[in-house]
Amino acid sequence: MGSVVMAGRKRGREDGGENVLQSEQQQQQQKGLLSQQSTKKKPLLLQQWVDPVQGMANVRHEFGEHGGVNMSIEASTTFTVLEPETMTKLFQGALGPDRDFYIYSRHFNPTVLNLSRQMAAMEGTEAAYCTSSGMSAISAILMQLCSSGDHIIASSRLYGGTHALLAHFLPRTCNITTTFVDIEDLGAVREALKKAPGSTTKVLYFESMSNPQLTVADIPALSGIGHDKGLTVVVDNTFAPLSLSPARLGADVVVHSMSKFICGASDIIAGAVCGPADLVNSMMDLKQGSLMILGPTMNPQIAFQISLRLPHLGIRMKEHCERALTYAQRLKKLGLKVIYPGLPDHPQHELTKTLVNDGYGYGGVLSVDLETTERAHDLMRHLQNTSQFGWMAVSLGYHDTLMSCSGSTTSSELSKEEQATAGISAGLVRMSIGFTGSMEKRWSQLLDALTSLKLVPDVAARW
Ligand SMILES: *Cc1c(COP(=O)(O)O)cnc(C)c1O
């Protein structure tokens, strides 16, 4: 099918001629809507790395059908053409979304494609496509890259749903098996690859920052190891949008659960696959494409809503990250066991410093290890019901603080042994730090809970 190029182009002549871009510019000039960006013919490939927020700003701005500042929502499942021959061309793949020709919205939809272009720009990949959830993005890319009998090498510290997909679901339904390995140990990764069946091992899969220990992956080294063996390197960047850019650091494919920081309001489930254009296009193949065949389609209304939140993702991430860093530093000073990649005692702090994009910080999530489940529960109960510091809920990236005890919630898909291997303590409280209220008022609420429960010495209250 037609390719999903980065530069947006509008429908020109139905002969699919070379003048499509030209005629679009002429049309827009007549309307007086031409932005400076779109006067230049853009290269199909991003030649050079740009900051993710700048990258998004560089994407052609889509105006609404009537000149509205926001794009129109193309809420149609099906699309008309002027000539019957055009339909034939569409199904032959001779015309496609790169020339603004569409067939059916389970295949490409213009509104979803516009959001996807923003995601591609954010991650610095050639193309992207958005899906109905993070899990559907992950399962679709893995089922596209692997066939029955194939093998995956994956991090042993993964989001619970992804772990279940790899450990239980894919082996049963697709005969796709996975070897889990501690990705902090590059030697162990090399060893696992050496032992893995050569021609059928297709993917190296890990998270840029993993939950709840906030382990940061050495993306350049891992990508190098994977590429040496001809694997496709797929990285889940849900925990660190903008801060980390896995594709810039060597990964082939970046997946997102957009349900977290990107949506930012805990109201939408959504996902994205960002990667090479031929791979994204292959996922839309009418006979073999995982997105086209399995159909985890994003609703264009949802794509529109998310597109209005991307412009302030940078501002939100900076605030999440700054508050998380401040609280982590203060909790540490009080003698608590805090896990945060921005703290010098974090095992990957030095590495992370070399990987992060300037100016965004080290992520909006921190973990506090209180050792026992009872203490973890006491703290969360107090923080919600007495001091109103935040809410007991799984997930992350909300404007308020969300807290959960990982061992008994988000990581409970893991067996006790798997949790122990992954280093998840029973008293680990994960906090996704919000930005509502003033930072100091929130800090006083947190400190109040800690002193009331005698989790820190009383003297701290006067600090
Ligand atoms: C939430 C999450 C997912 C799954 O995303 P959904 O949008 O809930 O399907 C995948 N990976 C990570 C790291 C997540 O936090």
Task: Show pLDDT as tens, one digit a residue, over the chain (463 residues).
Answer: 445 544 444 444 444 433 333 334 434 433 333 233 333 333 334 345 689 999 999 999 999 999 999 999 999 999 999 999 999 999 998 999 999 999 999 999 999 999 999 999 999 999 999 999 999 999 999 999 999 999 999 999 999 999 999 999 999 999 999 999 999 999 999 999 999 988 899 999 999 999 889 999 999 999 999 999 999 999 999 999 999 999 999 999 999 999 999 999 999 999 999 999 999 999 999 999 999 999 999 999 999 999 999 999 999 999 999 999 999 999 999 999 999 999 999 999 999 999 999 999 999 999 999 999 999 999 999 999 999 999 999 999 999 999 999 877 777 766 777 777 667 888 999 999 999 999 999 999 999 999 999 999 876 555 5
According to DSSP, the residues that pair with 34 across neighbouring strands are: none
* Top-level class of domain 312-462: alpha beta
pLDDT score for 463: 52
**Is the CB of residue 159 below 6 angstroms from any atom belonging to ligand 1?**
yes
Q: What values do phi and psi take at 42, rounded to 5? A: -90, 145
**Is the CB of residue 238 below 6 angstroms from any atom belonging to ligand 1?**
yes
pTM of the model: 0.90
Three-state secondary structure of 102-128? CCECCCCCHHHHHHHHHHHHHHCCCEE
- 208 closest CA partner among 243, 241, 249, 236: 236
Q: Which atom of ligand 1 is nearest to the CA of 238?
A: 13
Dihedral of CA 260/264/269/275: which sign? negative
pLDDT score for 49: 66
| 132 alpha carbon – ligand 1 mean position (Å) | 11
Second-level CATH architecture of 110-310: 3-Layer(aba) Sandwich (3.40)
* Domain ranges across the chain: 20-99, 110-310, 312-462
Q: What values do phi and psi take at 430, rounded to 5? A: -95, 130
pLDDT score for 304: 98
- Among protein residues, the one with the nearest Cα to ligand 1's atom 4 is 134
Name the 3-class secondary structure at 180.
strand
**Is the CB of residue 255 below 6 angstroms from any atom belonging to ligand 1?**
no
pLDDT score for 33: 30
Candidate from 159, 210, 394 with most ligand 1 atoms within 8 A of CB, to mutate: 159
* Angle, in degrees to the nearest 10, between helices 110-123 and 300-307: 40
**Is the CB of residue 133 below 6 angstroms from any atom belonging to ligand 1?**
yes
In the block, tokens 């509008």 appear at 10
**Is the CB of residue 410 below 6 angstroms from any atom belonging to ligand 1?**
no
Contact partners, residue 3, CB within 8 Å, separation at least 6: 96, 97, 98, 127, 277, 278, 281
Contact partners, residue 15, CB within 8 Å, separation at least 6: none
